[in-house]
Amino acid sequence: VSFFFGTSSCILMVDVDHFKHINDTFGHPAGDAVLQQLVNRLVSTFPRKTDFIARYGGEEFCILLHNAGNELSQRLGERLLHTIRGEEFQYQDNRISVTVSIGVAELIPGETVASWLERADRALYRAKDSGRDRLCLAMETAEGILGMPGDRGMR
């Protein structure tokens, strides 16, 4: 994690919406094909050598963006949403519509990796709870995470 300290860095948590429905409707091989095609779209959306994409579990992926604050990460996340919406996934003769939900958290200096991931995960579940096929930013601040005094005009 020390690689990420000292610069703006974000985590994007990406989860396939209604993935169980895809498996139940088209079969598990189709679900696997969807995940493989999703990875291709992740790689094309996040091509920098410092971007790190990993499967986090099941149909969830984690993207670490070095030298990227909330604004750039949100733009890239929105681009990913658009890319996934815009082109159906394929398995054999089936065209499968897929959407994802995304949670984004910017690393707060001094924050633990566990806290950073947890904040991104909470943002992801806000995206899911508010209708899916969208991106939500983590709302917590350094004050809320680390118990640090915020900037309240006191100098």
By annotation, the residues acting in catalysis are: 59
Give 3-state DSSP helix, strand, coil % of the chain, rounded to 5. 40, 25, 35
What is the enclosing helix (H) or strand (E) of 26?
helix 19-26
DSSP tally for the chain: helices H, then strands E: 5, 7
- Nearest Cα to 10, choosing from 136, 151, 147? 136
